[in-house]
């Protein structure tokens, strides 16, 4: 197994208050790591450190050179202020720096359409984000994350708001990503979800 992210002696404090201490582990490609723990135990903080949106106060997080990380944060309310449709929101997952203002090519458009079908969003493609139910909105953001070509998919409680059928579809997609060679890391309170895990991290 190849380590795509290496966590070495990591600690993290918010304004001096310690949240994570002395953590060391490797995130392996082609495997799924499920992060579990009580509310406030530091799951989101740990995922942000892995994805590079937070920097550790001690130790280091090393991502393999060129590794592409797709992150679905737990808090995504800000995006509702934008007048995006479901299709546009999913398509953002296929944009890359320097190509933002050009039309997506055929392969990218097919990936967006395919992902919307997989997550039962095709009939909502022209609907604005703020006009969706909580579960429909969450599926849109999961689609935006999983449509990316990434080496590491980091998802913070992705299925918390989903019905059983949607949850099952997301689990299938995550298993496909990991079988395809990516590392999948998800935070969860769902004990059934821990059954997806090759490794579990208890915080």
Ligand X SMILES: Nc1ncnc2c1ncn2[C@@H]1O[C@H](COP(=O)(O)OP(=O)(O)OP(=O)(O)O)[C@@H](O)[C@H]1O
Residue 167 lies near ligand X (rule: CB under 6 A): no
Tracing tokens 């890359």 back to the chain, one arrives at 96
Among candidates 55, 72, 52, which has minimal Cα distance to 119?
72
Among candidates 68, 183, 78, 84, which has minimal Cα distance to 140?
84
Residue number, 45 or 148, with CB nearest to ligand X = 45
Tracing tokens 């808090």 back to the chain, one arrives at 75
Question: Which listed residue (18, 40, 105, 114) binds ligand X by CB under 6 A?
Answer: 40
> Residue 68 has which token pair?
């592409």
Of the listed pieces 24-32, 36-44, 115-123, 194-202, which binds ligand X according to CB under 6 A?
36-44
DSSP string, 100-154: TTSPP-HHHHHHHHHHHHHTT-GGGTTSBGGGS-HHHHHHHHHHHHHTS--SEEE
Q: Strand 199-202 relative to strand 183-187: parallel, antiparallel, unpaired?
A: unpaired
Q: Closest distance between ligand X and the C-beta of residue 168, in Å?
A: 23
Query: In the range 77-106, which residues lie near ligand X by CB under 6 A?
Result: none
Residue 138 lies near ligand X (rule: CB under 6 A): no
Q: Closest distance between ligand X and the C-beta of residue 73, in Å?
A: 10
Question: Which listed residue (19, 92, 122, 125) binds ligand X by CB under 6 A?
Answer: 19
Of the listed pieces 39-47, 51-59, 85-93, 111-119, which binds ligand X according to CB under 6 A?
39-47
Residue 37 lies near ligand X (rule: CB under 6 A): yes
Q: How many residues bind ligand X (CB under 6 A)?
A: 11
Residue 39 lies near ligand X (rule: CB under 6 A): yes
Q: Strand 58-63 relative to strand 183-187: parallel, antiparallel, unpaired?
A: unpaired
Name the residues that contact ligand X, by CB under 6 A: 14, 19, 37, 39-45, 74
């Amino acid at each position: 197994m190849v380590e795509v992210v290496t966590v070495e002696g990591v600690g993290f404090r918010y304004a001096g208050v310690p949240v994570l201490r002395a953590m060391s582990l490797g995130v392996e490609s082609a495997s799924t790591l499920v992060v579990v723990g009580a509310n406030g135990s530091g799951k989101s903080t740990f995922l942000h450190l892995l994805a590079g949106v937070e920097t550790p106060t001690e130790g280091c997080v090393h991502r393999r050179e060129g590794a592409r990380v797709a992150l679905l944060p737990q808090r995504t309310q800000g995006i509702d202020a934008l007048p995006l449709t479901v299709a546009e929101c999913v398509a953002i997952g296929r944009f890359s720096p320097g190509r933002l203002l050009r039309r997506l090519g055929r392969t990218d458009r097919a990936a967006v359409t395919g992902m919307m079908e997989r997550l039962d969003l095709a009939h909502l493609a022209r609907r604005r984000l703020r006009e969706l139910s909580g579960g429909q909105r969450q599926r849109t953001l999961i689609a935006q994350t999983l449509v990316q070509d990434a080496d590491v998919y980091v998802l913070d409680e992705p299925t918390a708001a989903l019905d059983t059928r949607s949850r099952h579809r997301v689990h299938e997609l995550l298993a496909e990503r990991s079988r395809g060679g990516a590392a999948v890391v998800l935070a969860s309170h769902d004990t059934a979800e821990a059954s997806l895990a090759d490794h579990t991290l208890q915080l």
